[in-house]
Every structure is written in C-alpha cells, then in structure tokens.
C-alpha cells in the first residue's frame, strides 16, 4: 500500500465521480480522500466502497473525510478528521490500529503536536493559498510544512488552493503531500490534470 506522499486527491461531487477518480489514479495520485457532505447515506456508502476498490486496485490509500462510521462501513484505509469530527482516540478504537487517521491543523502547530500525541498518523495544514472550496479559511504559513514534521515526526499534508501553478511551492517547502480538490475534480480531464500535478511535484522534490 502506498505511503502518504505526493499528490493527495480530495474528491468533490460530480456525476462521473468514479470515472474521475479512476482517471486521477491512472494519472499518478497515491491517496484519495472521499469528501461528500450530501444527505444520502446509501449513495455515499456505495460511492465510498466503489472508490475504495479502485484505490486498492491501484495500490493507493483510500480515506474518508469526517465520517468514521462511513470509513468503517466502506472498509476504508482510514479517516480524516476536522475540528468538529470527534476525537482521534474514538476513531482509533472504531477503526483499529492499522487505520490511517489524519487531522486538520489549520495554522496551529500546537494542535498538531497535541493530536499526534493522541495517536494521529499525519497532520494537514492550510489553506496554503486562497481556496475556492473553503474561501473563508485563513492562510497558513509555508514554514509550518517543515516545522510540522520536525515537531510531530509524522507526515505533513498541505491543502487549500493548490494547483499546477503553485504545487512546486508546496514541494519545495517540505510537505510530504499536497492535497488537491478543484484542480483535479473541476477539471474536464482529471487524468491529464493528475499527470501534470504529479510531474510538477516530482520535478520540485
């Protein structure tokens, strides 16, 4: 199974989501996080299971955003928790020792230190750039990407407004992975978009 590195795809709803994720995987992404705030739990369960199978076939990690119960139901490889999504300890108890548990740390290094102490496997900082997905988010300083790993000893993920024009800045700043939303899932051709993102990431490492 892939380690947490490189281009990390965070989904947004689209009618051809399964095909879009398959394309992103062919394009080289190594992590997919299923993010859907919709109110149809059965559709979300079916989509999550389908995406988990695609990821397993591609040797990629499959994570679920926010929803520990859905992660368990879909046999996901882990979950990503935001500020209001419950504790790391509760997620660990439900999903088991092998699960990846990531946490959003915004621009807060002390939060990262505390949550890794509680058992989180990776920390995410952002928004790094103005984000069309979360326009209300404040910006996190680039130096957090390197200092986050130094302080916590675990992988750091950058998120927020990352695209093909700026992903090199994230790689150069020392992040382990760059989480990308709109640059992949608002693209007409997610596979081509993924290939470009991965190529620019690798050139900058």
Residues labelled as active-site residues: 35, 104, 134
Smallest CA-to-CA distance from 19 within 73, 160, 27, 183 is with 27
Collect all residues with Cβ–Cβ distance below 8 Å to 150 and sequence separation of at least 6. Answer: none
Q: Map residue 177 onto helix, strand or coil.
A: strand
CA distances from 90 to 16, 28, 196 (A): 33, 32, 38
Q: Torsions phi, psi of 7, nearest 5? A: -85, 125
How far apart are the C-alpha atoms of 95 and 86, rounded to whole Å? 13
């Amino acid at each position: 199974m892939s380690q947490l590195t490189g281009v990390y795809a965070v989904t947004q709803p689209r009618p051809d989501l399964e095909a879009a994720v398959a394309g992103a995987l062919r394009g080289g992404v190594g992590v997919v996080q299923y993010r859907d705030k919709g109110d149809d739990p059965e559709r979300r369960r079916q989509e999550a299971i389908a995406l988990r199978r695609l990821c397993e076939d591609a040797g990629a990690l499959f994570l679920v955003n926010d929803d520990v119960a859905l992660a368990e139901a879909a046999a996901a490889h882990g979950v990503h928790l935001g500020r209001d999504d419950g504790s790391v300890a509760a997620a660990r108890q439900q999903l088991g020792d092998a699960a990846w548990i990531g946490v959003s740390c915004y621009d807060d290094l002390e939060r990262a230190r505390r949550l890794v102490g509680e058992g989180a496997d990776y920390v995410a900082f952002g928004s790094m750039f103005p984000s069309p997905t979360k326009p209300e988010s404040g910006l996190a300083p680039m130096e957090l990407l390197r200092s986050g790993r130094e302080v916590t000893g675990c992988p750091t993920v950058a998120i927020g407004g990352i695209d093909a024009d700026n992903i090199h800045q994230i790689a150069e700043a020392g992040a382990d992975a760059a989480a990308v939303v709109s640059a992949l899932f608002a693209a007409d051709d997610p596979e081509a978009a993924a290939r470009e993102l991965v190529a620019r990431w690798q050139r900058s490492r």
